Structure 1
Amino acid sequence: MPTGLPFDDIRTLLSDLPPLDTGAVAAIAARDATLTKPPGSLGRLESLVAWLGAVQGRERPVIDRPVVTVFAGNHGVVAQGVSPYPASVTQSMVANFGAGGAAINQICGTFGLGLKVFELALEIPTADITVGPALEEAACAATMAYGMEAVANGTDLLCLGEMGIGNTTVAAAIYHGLYGGAAADWVGRGTGVDDAGLARKIDAVERAVALHAAHLGDPLEVLRRLGGREIAAMVGAILAARIERVPVILDGYVVCAAAAVLHALDARLLDHCIAGHRSAEGAHSAVLARLGKEPLLDLGLRLGEGTGAALAAGIVKAALATFNGMSTFSEAGVADRADDSGR
């Protein structure tokens, strides 16, 4: 993967995307029709296998090295009182991931998923977006390039997660910058702010978007001015996965802010992505509708950490195991159609 790309070179990457493999989809459908079940009886599990094959370019998709990648960053906008927790909690949670004590550790262990955590200059928060751009262009592009490393070492299913005090505020700012409306349409309670904290979040998002309004016609400018390092890194990870034919499971509200930036550039950039779940945070349902993604799960989650994506990965793994492991009618010696009497 290239490193240190300026925005112009990133845009160049977008012009040479590998197509989804329709031949693999047809072959998967043909095999599925021979399996010992009524057609369509496994519902969305069947379409998940077709999606894997289309992205990977394989008639028999594989999930041998699934990984949950959690990107962690800190945000200057926390100074505006948008979170009940200090930025130091980000570092504490990263340490908890390393010690195996977080929710995501337990879910990864249950479903046989690897876990990588990328710390993004936690000691240096991004600039306060109500005062200036979160990142300079070179720093934003370099962070995107760093995020591209998420698909290194043979990853064949990438689940994206994040950690960062204040990042629901910057995600809301990205949505407001991309989609318009009122700031309140996009702002939720995050880690549990009270009514006064919610008002401060809405005010911060309003002021940030107003400050940068002249530059928000370009999705990459939306990212660097209103986003954060973990969101920029996830943009890079999603882009690299598209280029390298790696299927991606998106987590919730903050992860989808990275996806929304790419979708605004070119909707095809999310062809390899599914939504793991519908978050209880903010306007995630409205975001998913704009991205054209129907989530696999709706469990009222709003933790982050990639928890929803990891749970969805268990379903994707089960779908593939079913497709690869089921007997065909001929192998099982089972009739695959009724006889003339209708039995």
Structure 2
Amino acid sequence: MFDVPVPDPAARAAALERLDGLVKPLGALGRLEELAAWLSAAHGSVPPRPLDDVRVVVFAGDHGVSALSAYPREVTAAMVRVFLAGKSGVNVLAAQVGARVRVADLGVDWDGADVPDSVTAHKIRRGSGSIDVEDALAPGEARAAFEAGRAIAGEEGEADLLIPGDMGIGNTAVCAAVVAASLGLPAAEVVGTGTGVDAAGLSRKTSAVAAALSRASGRVEDPFDRLTALGSACLAATAGFLVEAAVRGIPVVLDGVFSGAAALVARDIAPGAEQWWLAGHRSTEPSQAFALKALGLEPILDLGLRLGEGSGAVQAVPTLRAARAILADMGLLADLA
């Protein structure tokens, strides 16, 4: 069992009281007020701390179902190099808000000999099994990857805000399977177009996820068994990252479908951890909507994004900073002359 603290209820109450006393009609700043109170509870102070230290960790890995994607498997390894060069979508977007980006190879199908050791320090395996015909992970690997994710969160433990990103061709098929198994849904309801497959590709992808769910039937009640049968090393590590952030009381902004699927599993492992998470944006993937509904999370933004990498969550950071600013800088009605 994990000792997950409860975000500070006194700070939340004090934030709500101050928000009601600001120079505006009651509730006039809508969702910003809700986010301001959430941040106050997470940081245990009114106003919350400035969100100066924002860190993105991109969890990378390959999947046995990558052939279902519109892009080849080799793109995953190539993108790790792009992250390191600072030229990816999330690198560019994170720079706009002053966030730092780190990439962690948990299961990329390469040796990674030409990248810094820090990238591969927590590597579990090269690629995952094709979940339609075999388990994604070998016995014990899901727990090892989960612990690796916890360790990574510990290494980033000084952050004011954490964002889990993802990179892996085949990610959305794996996420669809994990969400479906977690919530008892059929494949047809959770499978989306991912990187942009056509109608025929969507049909193949749905069939593969349905086959995976049938194969793993009866073995998904335990979250680690679910990760072993249907997940991946990078998904298990993301779940560990989310749990450890909650244990440490560090607020997290989830990105898209990948972190949503990991969050469902993380919540099963550590009930209450979801109190420390926000949903940064609404993905175009249907399985994310099911995951967020089950977690009780409402996306901050809806921009039609489907890149992954943490790119959507990064876009929510200015909104969170604005929410903090209204508590820190707006005047009080009581002070009006």
Q: Distance in 2 between the 1:329 and 1:181 partners? A: 50
2:23 to 19, 31, 36: 36
The CA deviation string for residues 14-70 of structure 1, in whole angstroms up to 9 with x for no partner, is: xx2212211111222233233332222211111112111222222331123111221
Aligned residue identity for 2:21: T
Q: Whole-Å Cα distance in 2 between the matches of residues 196 and 270 of structure 1?
A: 36
Other-structure match for 1:341:
none
Contact 1:57/1:245 (<8 A) preserved: no
Is 1:65 equivalent to 2:53 in the alignment? yes
Partner of 2:64: 76
Contact 1:189-1:282 within 8 A present in 2 as well? no
CA contact (8 A) 1:159 1:309 kept: yes
Q: Which residue of structure 1 aligns with residue 132 of structure 2? A: 130
Residues 1:116 and 2:119 are matched in the alignment: no
In structure 2, relative to structure 1, the CA distance for the partners of 1:27 and 1:137 (3 Å cut) is farther
Query: Within 2, Cα distance between the matches of 1:19 and 1:120?
Result: 30
Deviations 1:207-257 (A, max 9, x none): 111111121122221122101122111101110111011111111111100
**Aligned equivalents of 1:257, 1:181: Cα separation in 2:** 13
Paired residue secondary structure (1:214): coil
- Distance in 2, matches of 1:64 and 1:189, equals 36
Matches within 5 A, 1:92-241: 92-123=78-109, 124-148=126-150, 149-151=152-154, 152-241=156-245
* C-alpha contact (below 8 Å) 2:52/2:98 kept by paired residues: no
Report the CA distance between 1:153 and its aligned residue. Answer: 4.3
1:272 aligned onto 2:276:
yes
In the alignment, structure 1 segments of 5+ residues that lack a partner are: 1-11, 336-343
Indicate the SS of the match to 1:76: coil
2: CA distance between counterparts of 1:181 and 1:122? 29
Does structure 2 retain, via aligned residues, the 8 Å contact 1:177–1:209? yes
- Corresponding letter in the other structure for 1:36: V
User: 3-state SS of the aligned residue for 1:215?
Assistant: coil
Question: Which residue of the other structure, out of 317, 322, 336, is the alignment partner of 1:313?
Answer: 317
Query: Does the residue aligned with 2:159 lie in a helix, a strand or coil?
Result: coil
Aligned-partner residue type, residue 153 of structure 2: A
Over residues 136-189 of structure 1, what are the superposed CA-to-partner deviations in whole Å (9 max), with x where a residue is unaligned? Answer: 342211211111223524012111211100010100111121222321111111
Tell me which residue corresponds to 1:22: 9
Instruction: Report how far residue 110 of structure 1 moved.
Output: 1.1
Matching residue of 2:297: 293
TM-score normalised per structure 2: 0.89
Cα displacement (A) at 1:90:
0.6
Instruction: Tell me what 1:87 maps to.
Output: 73
In the alignment, structure 2 segments of 5+ residues that lack a partner are: 110-125
Q: Tell me which structure has the larger Cα radius of gyration.
A: 1
Match of 1:303 in 2: 307
Distance 2:331 2:280 in 1: 28
Deviates more, 1:55-64 or 1:91-100: 55-64
Distance in 1 (alpha carbons) for counterparts of 2:157 and 2:185: 42
Q: Distance in 1 between matches of 2:71 and 2:317?
A: 30
Distance 1:182 1:33, change over 3 A: closer
User: What CA distance in whole angstroms lies between the structure 2 residues aligned with 1:233 and 1:266?
Assistant: 14
RMSD: 1.7
- Classify 1:153/1:289 alpha carbon distance in 2 versus 1 (closer, same or farther; 3 Å): closer
Aligned residue type for 2:166: E
**TM norm structure 1:** 0.87
Alignment partner of 1:323 is 2:311:
no
Cα distance in 1 between the residues matched to 2:107 and 2:206: 26
- Count of residue pairs the alignment pairs up: 318
Q: Compute the displacement of 1:329 (Å).
A: 4.2
- Displacement of 1:313 in angstroms is 1.5
Q: Are 1:52 and 2:56 an aligned pair?
A: no
The whole-number CA distance in structure 2 between the counterparts of 1:92 and 1:310 is 22
Letter of the 1:120 counterpart: L
Aligned residues with identical type, % of pairs: 41
Please, which moves more after superposition, 115-124 or 319-328?
Answer: 319-328
